[in-house]
Structure 1
Amino acid sequence: MTGTVEMTGMIELTLNGMPRSISGVLPHTTLLHWLRNEGLTGSKEGCAEGECGACAVLLSRPTESGGTRLESVNGCLLLLAGLHGQAVRTVEGLGTPVALHPVQHALAARGGSQCGYCTPGFVVSMAAEYYRPEREITGRGNGFELEAVGGNLCRCTGYRPIRDAAQALAAPAEGDALAETLRRPSPLPRPVALGTLSGEFHRPETLAEALELLSRHPQARLLAGGTDWGVDVNLKHARATVTVAVEHLPELNTLAWTPDYVELGAGLSLSELERRLGGAVPLLHAWFPLFASRLIRNRATLGGNLGTASPIGDSPPVLLALGAGVVLASSSGEREVALADYFTGYRQTVRRPDEFIRAVRIPLPLAPRVGFYKITKRPLDDISSVAVGIALTLEDGTVRRVRIGLGGVAATPIRALAAEELLTGRPWTAATAREAARVLRREGTPQDDHRASATYRAAMLEGALLKFFHEQTEAGVGA
């Protein structure tokens, strides 16, 4: 590896406010595994794939104002090596039996715990919301967003007393020690290079170093949020010979508006994108709450979601509807590829082994009429059976431009080109919508599987476009 970082076996992090130096770290060791070996057993393993929230911990992240934000994340999906230089807080670092944290006290007072297995995860996620900088307490409520605990499951207590506890939380009291620390800058990820018999883990200091590493190790596993790779490590016992962490690189954390496009860094978490965009890209704004849970969105990235090339990934249908392109970086330079041309087969793309996704670009101006439809077995925190993104531009009641992105109906995410062609130049009427919906029903090559039948998927495609038409008509768009 170039630069000044030497191969070492030592990881340094701040745990519950105290510095820790950890030797002999293996590249695939998760934070949860290490915590429990250290006796910090408040964090539990329930599902090992980021669905139950029993493993939740707080990770310190910088705010745009220079302070610290506490984000709840799944400890089972965090690689310990990837936390070098950062600060983590577990449920043990929030309160004690004789000095409960306000969140713990609220849960205990309102009967929010029975067996207690899930309780530490709820405490952690609620604490992240308790200290959220944007939370505003008014006469109408305490500003607590219940979505904060959307990734935490409870099998025995039921959610009403947990909700009651959340809605009873006031602002942090004057002198709250943890609140005071959040006014100071957050510890940041530091470059590191680990070499063990089990493999290598690198967090390069610069983009040039990352690209050089990738050119030397084209088989390397690229790591950003880890919400996909962490599942493979836990459930499939996957191991990488070389892991390269890239989420910290400034070039992957851009959010820039130009006259022609908005550029979204591939390393920005979805929660960070949601905050920084503030609804400025309406189709993304509609999609964010439907992508997994807040615990996952605090780590998941656009680059990671596109990098997996899954035909049921949630972001491709949205980005296809927006006409997005991906910026691929390598040591020989950058190139932009339209997302419609990016996927070449089942989990295959045009990305070369020496490239990674640096950013996503969405062309401007944005279509003024948009809709996203995710058909799943439960409304939130589920894998889609079918996903449909639609972006429409009308001119005098006629379809001037339309893009429709589809997921779950082919070996790759696709554009609904036949339906788009039928709609373009036609009047935006119920008759046109019905005709286009019948064409949309025949797009792709939907399959029967455990999530849905091919017939059901086709019907959902038709229904999505009809629903979009009626929603737009009710809003006074079209005839």
Structure 2
Amino acid sequence: MTSAEVVVNGQAVPLSGVPIHTTLLDLVRDQGFTGCKEGCAEGECGACSVLVARPGIAAATEWVALNACLVPAAAFAGQEVVTAEGLGEPAALHPVQYEMAVRGGSQCGYCTPGFVCSMAAEYYRPDRAPGVASPERGGNGFDLHALSGNLCRCTGYRPIRDAAYALGAPDEGDRFAARCTAPAPAAGPADVVVEDRRFVRPTALGDAVRLLAEHPDAVPVAGSTDWGVEVNLRGRRADFVIAIDRLPELRDLTVADDVIEIGAALTLTEIERRLDGRVPLLDDLFPQFASRLIRNGATIGGNLGTGSPIGDTPPVLLALDATVVLTGVDGDREVALADYFTGYRRSVRQPGELIRSVGIPLPLAPITAFHKIAKRRFDDISSVAVAFALDVVDGVVRAARIGLGGIAATPVRARDTEAALVDRPWTSDTVDAAAAVLGAEGTPLDDHRASARYRAAMLGQSLLKLFAETAQEVSA
């Protein structure tokens, strides 16, 4: 297999001649694997989910489920992709396919192949522990959040859940489980030119920033969970695309005595698993950030790089007093995240620069919370997002950092509210006064997600909720 090919269900598919904005979804369908469907074209429904072999955390290789509708096919040069057709055959169904069939998990069948791929990724998760139950997991250790990005409109979710909870451990000799013991394919270099448009995957950070300097209009892509929507729904095209998601210099995560450094190209799922509870505020964020399918692709650098005022990581990272390392041909520079955003989808990042890493200083504040107000509990865009990090000593607020999203043209720190809390007792009187200040922070707008009045009210209520949840703990 060369770097100009992607392996789909064991077949090498050449990428030469494939337009660079062709999605992985369209590529696999063109190969006849039409179980993979387009439902929403924006990563909301999961009908397009596929399995990709990626370097693992708990095993040499792990099967990761991704939205094929969002990612460019060229980004999978040298990679292994499996669709629902590649898992089993009519005469020899895969265990996931079998359980979905016998438990009535499919009616029209449109969404079923996507469910099967997401369920298979969780089935093969190396640290899944059959026999260990939890409130959101069956006795087989299956995490239903693995299916949070898959929607069904006719079957109903109970039989799908029943199928998930019926799965045991993979049988000895299972070829997909056996694949996890060998290293995943390295993402080699790719250079695809079609109709004067070019897609490049450099193998080193220095090459990437050099290309960005030479082509200032180039679009860097990682998980493509934002850019893919622009391509699909808004018809955006770029003449030069640079894939940065597998650059090793952007994929480190280190924990030192005074800081946690998180590589910008690590996905949200990888960060969650590698941190393993070290940052409780991030643990509050992860389940509320889109779906597992999106978190498997979306990167922390990408969420900051888009500059969206409704991104979920910026409020949390602002509360954590995070810094951002920007890198270019002239080297690195560090910027406080509070100084990073300069306007709507604008930042201090210069043309030719990439986000290299995010730093979270230690020690962490002992009182933290992330409140996301949206129309759905999960897999939705924020109307308002509020992150708190407070240090209360002997009943007095000694430090306070509050990050806000959805209430201005950029994510912002609630500086006035922080000042209203610091050096004051953590009491209902202090919190009531500070909640009034918080409700006036930012410049919220009326739009289809929420009114300005509602957003302002939710800001104040968020602080009152935090106090209600922590007052007894602090007084103790």
Distance 1:234 1:115 in 2: 25
Distance 1:429 1:388 in 2: 20
- Aligned residue among 159, 162, 170 for 2:160: 162
Indicate the SS of the match to 2:107.
coil
Retained in 1: the 8 A contact 2:204–2:249? no
- 2:395 alignment partner in structure 1: 397
TM-fit CA distance, 1:380: 0.3
Q: Output the amino acid matched with 1:265.
A: G
- 2:19 alignment partner in structure 1: 26
- 2:116 alignment partner in structure 1: 123
Residue by residue over 1:117-161, the C-alpha shift from the partner in whole angstroms, topping out at 9 and shown as x without a partner, is 000000000000111001001264100011111000000000001
Residue by residue over 1:97-125, the C-alpha shift from the partner in whole angstroms, topping out at 9 and shown as x without a partner, is 11111011101111110000000000000
- 1:477 alignment partner in structure 2: 474
- CA spacing shift, 1:309–1:159, aligned 2, 3 Å: same
- Aligned residue among 237, 252, 255 for 1:254: 252
Q: Tell me whether 1:53 sits opposite 2:50 in the alignment.
A: no
Summarize the alignment of residues 33-432 of structure 1 with structure 2, pairs less than 5 Å apart: 33-64=26-57, 67-138=60-131, 140=133, 141-432=139-430
Retained in 1: the 8 A contact 2:386–2:402? yes
Retained in 1: the 8 A contact 2:322–2:359? yes
TM-fit CA distance, 1:26: 1.5
Q: Tell me whether 1:443 sits opposite 2:450 in the alignment.
A: no
- Aligned residue among 428, 431, 434 for 2:432: 434
Q: Output the amino acid matched with 1:477.
A: V
Indicate the SS of the match to 2:334.
strand
Distance 1:226 1:359 in 2: 18
- 1:6 alignment partner in structure 2: none
Q: Output the amino acid matched with 2:76.
A: L
TM-fit CA distance, 1:18: 3.3
Retained in 2: the 8 A contact 1:390–1:402? yes
Of stretches 254-263 and 351-360 in structure 1, the one that deviates more from structure 2 is: 254-263
Q: Tell me whether 1:16 sits opposite 2:12 in the alignment.
A: no
- 1:4 alignment partner in structure 2: none
- Stretches (4+) displaced over 4 A: none
Retained in 2: the 8 A contact 1:255–1:264? yes
* TM-score between both structures, scaled by the size of structure 2: 0.97
Retained in 2: the 8 A contact 1:270–1:302? yes
Retained in 1: the 8 A contact 2:105–2:163? yes
TM-fit CA distance, 1:66: 5.5
Distance 1:39 1:139 in 2: 39
Q: Output the amino acid matched with 2:78.
A: G
Distance 1:422 1:81 in 2: 52
Q: Output the amino acid matched with 1:78.
A: V
Residue by residue over 1:418-464, the C-alpha shift from the partner in whole angstroms, topping out at 9 and shown as x without a partner, is 00001000011111111100100000011100000000000000000
Residue by residue over 1:14-65, the C-alpha shift from the partner in whole angstroms, topping out at 9 and shown as x without a partner, is 2213333332021111011111122110000000000000000001111246
Distance 1:178 1:281 in 2: 33
Distance 1:64 1:288 in 2: 17
Retained in 1: the 8 A contact 2:3–2:188? no
- 2:136 alignment partner in structure 1: none
Residue by residue over 1:155-183, the C-alpha shift from the partner in whole angstroms, topping out at 9 and shown as x without a partner, is 00000010111111111111112211111
Of stretches 130-139 and 328-337 in structure 1, the one that deviates more from structure 2 is: 130-139
Distance 1:207 1:408 in 2: 33
TM-fit CA distance, 1:196: 2.3
Structure 2 stretches of 5 or more lacking a match? 134-138
Residue by residue over 1:214-272, the C-alpha shift from the partner in whole angstroms, topping out at 9 and shown as x without a partner, is 11011110111110001111111111111111111111101011222110000000000
Distance 1:272 1:280 in 2: 14
- 1:456 alignment partner in structure 2: 454
TM-fit CA distance, 1:10: 7.3
Q: Output the amino acid matched with 1:414.
A: V
Retained in 1: the 8 A contact 2:231–2:237? yes
Distance 1:154 1:403 in 2: 40
- 1:5 alignment partner in structure 2: none
Retained in 2: the 8 A contact 1:91–1:124? yes
CA RMSD of aligned residues (A): 1.3
Of stretches 148-157 and 61-70 in structure 1, the one that deviates more from structure 2 is: 61-70
Of stretches 335-344 and 180-189 in structure 1, the one that deviates more from structure 2 is: 180-189
Distance 2:40 2:353 in 1: 32
Distance 1:259 1:216 in 2: 38
Distance 1:172 1:197 in 2: 45
Q: Output the amino acid matched with 2:223.
A: G
Distance 2:436 2:290 in 1: 30
Q: Output the amino acid matched with 2:271.
A: L
Distance 1:10 1:432 in 2: 61
The percent of aligned pairs where both chains have the same amino acid is 60
Distance 1:145 1:64 in 2: 17
Structure 1 stretches of 5 or more lacking a match? 1-8
- CA spacing shift, 1:172–1:341, aligned 2, 3 Å: same
TM-fit CA distance, 1:70: 0.3
TM-fit CA distance, 1:11: 2.2
Distance 2:132 2:236 in 1: 51
Distance 2:60 2:229 in 1: 31
